[in-house]
Amino acid sequence: MKFNELKLDQIDEVFAISESYDLTKGNQTDRGFLVSSFTRDEYESFYFQDDKYIYVATDDNRVIGFIYGYYIKHADPSVSSDTMKKLGQEDDFIVKQICAHQDAPIGTGTFLMHQLFQILSCSIYLAIVAKPLNVTSLIFHKKMGFCEIARITEKDQLERIIMVRYKHQDSKTFVEAGLLQYQIAVDLYKHEDQLTWTKFNFSVITNGAILAMVVPAMTSDFNKTLFLFLAIVVIIINFGYIYTIRMGRIYLQKRKKDACGLEEKFQSIGMNYIIKGSTKNKKMNHILENSFTRYVQFLIPIMFIIGWIVILFLVL
């Protein structure tokens, strides 16, 4: 497999490959699709423009894949490119299209992208269609080290995911900084988890202690006014616990999302999913990402409130 800039006599092959992925012609395949539809003449015009770059992968002198892109400063106005201009620098690169022939060997896209990484010393941006979701493209680019930074709706009314692979992303310093951030995110996640369970435990202890104090005093001549006061106080306390537990769960999910995002980001260097879980088991992923034990933390204080209200009606 060889990598080189597009030659004039290879334009027809590049056009044929891109046409086979053209979503506007119903060519949505398991290997992804393209919504940027260019004619054969447009690819030829790109060939003669100094600010447009097309690189091809060849095997036995046959084009089996290509990458088309340009620098941000040369991008035509659009919602996607304008967003990239705001987030990046004018010398960063935009990958507009990357395609492999339907019969190309597995790994052709990876080969093209790695060759591009060696050529460029800047950050690389791209946009992936979110509706309909281009699943194949999304998975591929995540494996290549790209991460989502924004979502926009383009003029064609199709939602796009803006992704970036930052400059020097494979450098030791970059990786070490990312792993440090991951450790901080995990520590904060564990802190919020422990704090939330501590709040929950205190809610159980508070209700149990007040109940243990009140029940023995519930005789025929006990002070109903005092009981009413204590019941109202404990109900207010339970509402306070529910609120603080809810906020703790929000903070916890944010830390977990940050850690999962870093795990995805470092898939390209062989990092395994730990908090996020295996992508092969969608049901387990859903459980790990949502932490359904939160329902226990919410429902028990709610049950305490209902219980105290019932006791109030029975006593008073």
pLDDT of residue 134: 87
Residue 244 has pLDDT above 80, yes or no: yes
Residue 228: pLDDT band (50, 70, 90) is confident
> Residue 91 corresponds to which tokens in the numbers above?
């010398």
**Which DSSP helix (H) or strand (E) runs through 45?**
helix 40-48
Is 69 in contact with 94 (CB distance < 8 Å)? yes
Terminal CA-CA length for the chain: 86
Please state which architecture CATH assigns to domain 2-165. 3-Layer(aba) Sandwich (3.40)
Is 210 in contact with 248 (CB distance < 8 Å)? no
Residue 10 has pLDDT above 90, yes or no: yes
Instruction: Determine the angle formed by the axes of helices 172-214 and 294-315, rounding to 10 degrees.
Output: 20
> What average pLDDT does the segment 250-261 reach?
83
Q: Which tops the pLDDT comparison, 262 or 300? A: 300
Q: Which tops the pLDDT comparison, 80 or 174? A: 80
pLDDT of residue 166: 84
Taking Cα atoms as reference points, which of 8, 41, 34 lies closest to residue 19? 34
> What average pLDDT does the segment 152-167 reach?
88
Q: Which tops the pLDDT comparison, 235 or 221? A: 235
> What average pLDDT does the segment 223-229 reach?
80
pLDDT of residue 171: 61
Highest mean pLDDT among 5-19, 126-140, 292-306: 5-19
Residue 219: pLDDT band (50, 70, 90) is low
Residue 1 has pLDDT above 90, yes or no: no
> What average pLDDT does the segment 72-100 reach?
91
Residue 26: pLDDT band (50, 70, 90) is low
pLDDT of residue 214: 78
* Domain range list for the chain: 2-165, 172-315
> What average pLDDT does the segment 163-191 reach?
79
Q: Which tops the pLDDT comparison, 72 or 275? A: 72
> What average pLDDT does the segment 168-195 reach?
79
- The tens digit of pLDDT for each residue in 101-135 reads 988 888 999 999 999 999 998 999 999 988 888 88
pLDDT of residue 313: 83
- Classified as helix, coil or strand, 4 is strand
Sheet holding 147-153, edge to edge: 2-5, 53-59, 62-71, 93-100, 124-129, 159-165, 147-153
- Give the mean pLDDT of the chain: 85
The backbone torsions φ and ψ at residue 155, rounded to the nearest 5 degrees and listed phi first, read -65, -25
Residue 141 has pLDDT above 60, yes or no: yes
> What average pLDDT does the segment 11-32 reach?
79
